[in-house]
A = this chain, B = another copy of it.
Amino acid sequence: MKIEIWSDVACPWCYIGKRRFEAALAEFPHRDSVEIQWRSYQLDPSIPDHYDGTELDYLSKRKGMNPAQVSQMFEHVALQAKGEGLNYRFDDVVVANSFTAHRLIHLAAAHGKQDEAKELLLSGHFEHGKDIGNQEYLAKLGSDLGLPEAEIAELFSTDKYAEDVRGDIAEARMLGVTGVPFFVIDRKYGLSGAQPSEVFTQALTQAWQEANPLVAVGSPDAEACGPDGCAI
Protein backbone atom coordinates (compact mmCIF):
# COMPACT_ATOMS: atom_id res chain seq x y z
CA MET A 1 0.00 0.00 0.00
CA LYS A 2 1.39 3.36 -0.95
CA ILE A 3 0.64 6.58 0.85
CA GLU A 4 1.68 9.88 -0.65
CA ILE A 5 1.63 12.91 1.61
CA TRP A 6 1.64 16.35 0.06
CA SER A 7 2.96 18.79 2.58
CA ASP A 8 4.99 21.95 2.99
CA VAL A 9 7.76 22.51 5.50
CA ALA A 10 6.38 25.94 6.40
CA CYS A 11 2.98 24.47 7.30
CA PRO A 12 2.01 24.15 10.95
CA TRP A 13 -0.81 21.65 10.41
CA CYS A 14 1.49 19.46 8.32
CA TYR A 15 3.71 18.61 11.29
CA ILE A 16 0.70 18.01 13.54
CA GLY A 17 -0.88 15.87 10.81
CA LYS A 18 2.37 13.94 10.48
CA ARG A 19 2.25 13.02 14.18
CA ARG A 20 -1.41 12.01 14.04
CA PHE A 21 -0.80 9.88 10.97
CA GLU A 22 2.28 8.31 12.55
CA ALA A 23 0.24 7.38 15.62
CA ALA A 24 -2.28 5.57 13.40
CA LEU A 25 0.45 3.90 11.37
CA ALA A 26 2.24 2.65 14.49
CA GLU A 27 -0.88 0.68 15.44
CA PHE A 28 -1.66 -0.53 11.91
CA PRO A 29 -1.04 -4.29 11.62
CA HIS A 30 0.24 -4.08 8.03
CA ARG A 31 2.49 -1.07 8.67
CA ASP A 32 5.51 -2.92 7.24
CA SER A 33 3.75 -3.12 3.88
CA VAL A 34 3.00 0.59 3.79
CA GLU A 35 5.25 2.76 1.67
CA ILE A 36 5.26 6.46 2.54
CA GLN A 37 6.26 9.09 0.02
CA TRP A 38 6.49 12.73 0.98
CA ARG A 39 5.45 15.01 -1.86
CA SER A 40 6.39 18.65 -2.15
CA TYR A 41 3.89 21.47 -1.87
CA GLN A 42 4.36 25.18 -1.35
CA LEU A 43 1.65 27.13 0.40
CA ASP A 44 3.32 30.39 -0.50
CA PRO A 45 5.84 30.18 -3.34
CA SER A 46 6.15 33.98 -3.17
CA ILE A 47 7.85 34.03 0.24
CA PRO A 48 11.20 35.80 -0.18
CA ASP A 49 14.44 33.95 0.47
CA HIS A 50 15.18 36.43 3.23
CA TYR A 51 12.69 38.45 5.25
CA ASP A 52 13.65 40.55 8.23
CA GLY A 53 10.75 40.11 10.57
CA THR A 54 8.69 37.56 12.41
CA GLU A 55 6.09 35.23 10.94
CA LEU A 56 3.50 37.54 12.52
CA ASP A 57 5.04 40.52 10.71
CA TYR A 58 5.08 38.66 7.43
CA LEU A 59 1.51 37.45 7.60
CA SER A 60 0.12 40.80 8.78
CA LYS A 61 2.30 43.24 6.82
CA ARG A 62 2.91 41.34 3.61
CA LYS A 63 -0.15 39.14 3.39
CA GLY A 64 -2.57 41.65 4.93
CA MET A 65 -3.90 39.35 7.62
CA ASN A 66 -5.37 40.70 10.82
CA PRO A 67 -2.56 40.57 13.46
CA ALA A 68 -4.97 39.66 16.24
CA GLN A 69 -6.32 36.75 14.20
CA VAL A 70 -2.82 35.59 13.32
CA SER A 71 -1.88 35.61 17.03
CA GLN A 72 -4.99 33.67 17.83
CA MET A 73 -4.16 31.16 15.09
CA PHE A 74 -0.62 30.73 16.48
CA GLU A 75 -2.01 30.11 19.96
CA HIS A 76 -4.57 27.60 18.79
CA VAL A 77 -2.12 25.73 16.55
CA ALA A 78 0.59 25.67 19.24
CA LEU A 79 -1.91 24.16 21.67
CA GLN A 80 -2.88 21.46 19.17
CA ALA A 81 0.82 20.85 18.49
CA LYS A 82 1.45 20.45 22.21
CA GLY A 83 -1.21 17.76 22.26
CA GLU A 84 0.95 15.80 19.82
CA GLY A 85 4.13 16.39 21.81
CA LEU A 86 5.40 19.23 19.62
CA ASN A 87 6.81 22.44 21.05
CA TYR A 88 5.95 25.16 18.51
CA ARG A 89 7.69 28.50 19.03
CA PHE A 90 6.06 30.86 16.55
CA ASP A 91 7.99 33.90 17.89
CA ASP A 92 11.23 32.29 16.76
CA VAL A 93 10.03 31.02 13.38
CA VAL A 94 12.24 32.29 10.55
CA VAL A 95 10.24 33.29 7.50
CA ALA A 96 11.83 31.51 4.56
CA ASN A 97 11.02 30.07 1.18
CA SER A 98 10.82 26.28 1.39
CA PHE A 99 11.75 25.50 -2.23
CA THR A 100 15.36 24.51 -1.59
CA ALA A 101 14.33 22.57 1.51
CA HIS A 102 11.98 20.56 -0.71
CA ARG A 103 14.83 19.85 -3.11
CA LEU A 104 16.85 18.59 -0.15
CA ILE A 105 13.96 16.30 0.80
CA HIS A 106 14.06 14.84 -2.71
CA LEU A 107 17.80 14.32 -2.44
CA ALA A 108 17.28 12.61 0.91
CA ALA A 109 14.63 10.40 -0.69
CA ALA A 110 17.18 9.20 -3.23
CA HIS A 111 19.16 7.87 -0.26
CA GLY A 112 16.26 6.43 1.70
CA LYS A 113 16.24 9.30 4.20
CA GLN A 114 13.17 11.20 3.11
CA ASP A 115 11.16 10.88 6.29
CA GLU A 116 14.16 11.81 8.43
CA ALA A 117 14.79 14.94 6.33
CA LYS A 118 11.14 15.98 6.50
CA GLU A 119 11.06 15.44 10.26
CA LEU A 120 14.24 17.44 10.94
CA LEU A 121 13.13 20.33 8.74
CA LEU A 122 9.69 20.57 10.36
CA SER A 123 11.22 20.42 13.82
CA GLY A 124 13.91 22.93 12.91
CA HIS A 125 11.36 25.35 11.48
CA PHE A 126 8.68 25.19 14.16
CA GLU A 127 10.52 24.13 17.30
CA HIS A 128 14.03 25.50 16.94
CA GLY A 129 13.87 28.76 14.97
CA LYS A 130 16.03 27.40 12.14
CA ASP A 131 16.19 29.16 8.79
CA ILE A 132 15.05 26.50 6.29
CA GLY A 133 16.17 28.76 3.44
CA ASN A 134 19.74 28.94 4.71
CA GLN A 135 22.22 26.86 2.71
CA GLU A 136 24.55 26.34 5.65
CA TYR A 137 21.73 24.95 7.77
CA LEU A 138 20.45 22.75 4.96
CA ALA A 139 23.94 21.47 4.18
CA LYS A 140 24.53 20.63 7.84
CA LEU A 141 21.20 18.85 8.03
CA GLY A 142 21.98 16.85 4.89
CA SER A 143 25.37 16.00 6.27
CA ASP A 144 23.89 14.88 9.59
CA LEU A 145 21.63 12.56 7.60
CA GLY A 146 24.67 11.04 5.96
CA LEU A 147 23.89 12.29 2.46
CA PRO A 148 26.95 12.42 0.16
CA GLU A 149 28.69 15.78 0.49
CA ALA A 150 29.12 16.05 -3.29
CA GLU A 151 25.39 15.71 -3.84
CA ILE A 152 24.61 18.25 -1.13
CA ALA A 153 27.00 20.70 -2.81
CA GLU A 154 25.40 19.95 -6.19
CA LEU A 155 22.05 20.96 -4.72
CA PHE A 156 23.29 24.50 -4.18
CA SER A 157 25.32 24.86 -7.37
CA THR A 158 22.62 23.51 -9.72
CA ASP A 159 18.83 23.32 -9.79
CA LYS A 160 18.84 19.58 -9.23
CA TYR A 161 15.48 18.18 -8.04
CA ALA A 162 13.74 21.47 -8.89
CA GLU A 163 11.74 19.64 -11.55
CA ASP A 164 10.73 17.00 -9.02
CA VAL A 165 9.44 19.65 -6.62
CA ARG A 166 7.50 21.38 -9.40
CA GLY A 167 6.23 18.00 -10.62
CA ASP A 168 4.87 17.19 -7.16
CA ILE A 169 3.07 20.51 -7.00
CA ALA A 170 1.62 20.03 -10.49
CA GLU A 171 0.41 16.59 -9.56
CA ALA A 172 -1.26 17.96 -6.44
CA ARG A 173 -3.13 20.41 -8.63
CA MET A 174 -4.22 17.57 -10.90
CA LEU A 175 -5.59 15.69 -7.90
CA GLY A 176 -7.52 18.75 -6.77
CA VAL A 177 -5.38 19.42 -3.72
CA THR A 178 -5.84 22.99 -2.49
CA GLY A 179 -4.43 22.72 1.00
CA VAL A 180 -2.00 20.63 2.97
CA PRO A 181 -1.30 18.24 4.56
CA PHE A 182 -3.04 16.01 2.03
CA PHE A 183 -2.80 12.24 2.32
CA VAL A 184 -3.44 10.01 -0.70
CA ILE A 185 -3.78 6.25 -0.24
CA ASP A 186 -3.10 4.12 -3.32
CA ARG A 187 -4.26 7.03 -5.47
CA LYS A 188 -7.75 6.17 -4.33
CA TYR A 189 -8.53 7.82 -1.04
CA GLY A 190 -7.74 11.41 -0.20
CA LEU A 191 -7.57 12.82 3.32
CA SER A 192 -7.26 16.55 3.66
CA GLY A 193 -5.83 18.17 6.74
CA ALA A 194 -4.58 17.02 10.13
CA GLN A 195 -7.36 14.48 10.63
CA PRO A 196 -7.65 12.74 14.00
CA SER A 197 -5.60 9.52 14.26
CA GLU A 198 -8.77 7.41 14.31
CA VAL A 199 -9.70 8.69 10.86
CA PHE A 200 -6.30 7.68 9.52
CA THR A 201 -6.73 4.26 11.13
CA GLN A 202 -10.12 3.78 9.48
CA ALA A 203 -8.81 4.83 6.09
CA LEU A 204 -5.76 2.57 6.34
CA THR A 205 -7.93 -0.39 7.30
CA GLN A 206 -10.47 0.17 4.55
CA ALA A 207 -7.87 0.73 1.85
CA TRP A 208 -5.98 -2.36 2.91
CA GLN A 209 -9.05 -4.58 2.76
CA GLU A 210 -9.92 -3.32 -0.68
CA ALA A 211 -6.40 -3.61 -2.03
CA ASN A 212 -5.78 -7.19 -0.96
CA PRO A 213 -6.39 -9.39 -2.82
CA LEU A 214 -6.55 -7.80 -6.26
CA VAL A 215 -9.94 -7.61 -7.91
CA ALA A 216 -9.79 -9.81 -11.02
CA VAL A 217 -10.86 -8.02 -14.19
CA GLY A 218 -11.58 -9.57 -17.59
CA SER A 219 -11.69 -13.20 -18.55
CA PRO A 220 -9.70 -15.59 -16.37
CA ASP A 221 -8.95 -17.53 -19.57
CA ALA A 222 -7.10 -14.87 -21.55
CA GLU A 223 -4.00 -16.37 -23.06
CA ALA A 224 -0.93 -16.20 -20.89
CA CYS A 225 2.33 -18.02 -20.40
CA GLY A 226 3.12 -19.83 -17.18
CA PRO A 227 5.72 -22.22 -15.79
CA ASP A 228 4.14 -25.05 -17.83
CA GLY A 229 4.19 -23.23 -21.13
CA CYS A 230 1.95 -20.93 -23.09
CA ALA A 231 -1.78 -21.18 -23.61
CA ILE A 232 -2.86 -22.56 -26.96
Contacts and interface: CB of A to CB of B under 8 A. Distances in A.
Contacts of A1: 187
A157 interface: no
B43 A225 contact: yes
B193 A231 contact: yes
> How many protomers of this protein does the assembly include?
2
Nearest to A11: B225
Interface string A133-165: 000000000000000000000000000000000
27 contacts: A1-B187, A2-B187, A13-B223, A13-B224, A13-B225, A33-B174, A43-B225, A43-B226, A59-B229, A73-B232, A77-B230, A80-B223, A178-B226, A178-B227, A179-B224, A179-B226, A179-B227, A180-B224, A185-B217, A188-B214, A189-B214, A190-B213, A192-B216, A193-B219, A193-B221, A195-B217, A199-B217
A208 to B, nearest CB: 10
B215 A189 contact: yes
A220 B179 CA distance: 11
A230 to B, nearest CB: 6
A94 interface: no
Given A179-B227, A187-B211, A193-B219, 11 more contacts: A2-B187, A13-B231, A43-B227, A77-B223, A175-B214, A186-B187, A187-B214, A190-B215, A193-B221, A199-B217, A203-B218
Interface residues of A, number: 69
B178 A190 contact: no
A200 B223 CA distance: 14
A176 interface: yes
B193 A217 contact: no
A52 interface: no
A24 to B, nearest CB: 11
Nearest to A76: B232
Contact of A220 (B43, B192, B214, B220): B192
